[in-house]
């Protein structure tokens, strides 16, 4: 397709086009190294034209995506993923701060509850001591009243 598009009925092909077509045909004839399948003609055209000119309009007009446009798309996707990653990191940091705050509040609450429990235990002990003293006082009062009523008229 490249050869057909760049051949004029009057003048044929320019030297640059002849050289480019020759390079493409040589690459197509050679087996692809380190590849299981041979390169497609589209891959070869794309590779040769991007080596000669990164701004080749033939590739765009023919609807062939070049490695340059792929790298631009990859860079855009990478930037988008980096932004998402940064947003996730910020969100994780914020959640960690909230978690730390809640843990501190929970520890403070547990400490307060422990102090309150100690105070309740002390108060119960004091109440028990007071009750015992009251019983002893009641017993003494009953004996005093019993003595007085036994010595009466």
91 in a structural domain = no
- Dihedrals phi, psi of 62, to nearest 5 degrees: -85, -5
Task: Tell me how far apart the terminal alpha carbons of the chain are, to the nearest angstrom.
Answer: 144
| Domain count within the chain | 1
pLDDT tens digits, 73-113: 788 899 999 999 999 999 999 999 999 999 999 999 999 99
pLDDT tens digits, 16-63: 777 777 777 777 677 655 555 666 666 666 666 666 655 556 656 666
* Structural domain span for residue 43: 2-65
102 in a structural domain = no
Model pTM?
0.40
27 in a structural domain = yes
121 in a structural domain = no
117 in a structural domain = no
CB of 6 closer than 8 Å to CB of 13: yes
Bridge partners of 25, per DSSP, are none
95 in a structural domain = no
70 in a structural domain = no
């Amino acid at each position: 397709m490249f050869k057909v598009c760049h051949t004029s009925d009057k003048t044929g092909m320019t030297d640059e086009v002849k050289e480019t077509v020759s390079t493409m045909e040589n690459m197509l004839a050679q087996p692809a190294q380190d590849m299981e399948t041979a390169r497609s003609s589209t891959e070869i055209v794309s590779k040769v034209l991007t080596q000669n000119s990164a701004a080749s309009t033939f590739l765009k007009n023919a609807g062939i995506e070049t490695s340059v446009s792929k790298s631009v798309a990859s860079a855009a996707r990478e930037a988008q993923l980096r932004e998402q990653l940064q947003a996730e990191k910020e969100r994780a940091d914020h959640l960690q701060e909230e978690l730390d705050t809640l843990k501190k509040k929970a520890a403070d609450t547990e400490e307060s509850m422990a102090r309150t429990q100690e105070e309740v235990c002390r108060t119960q002990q004091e109440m028990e001591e007071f009750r015992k003293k009251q019983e002893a006082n009641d017993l003494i009062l009953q004996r005093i009243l019993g003595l007085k009523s036994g010595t009466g008229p």
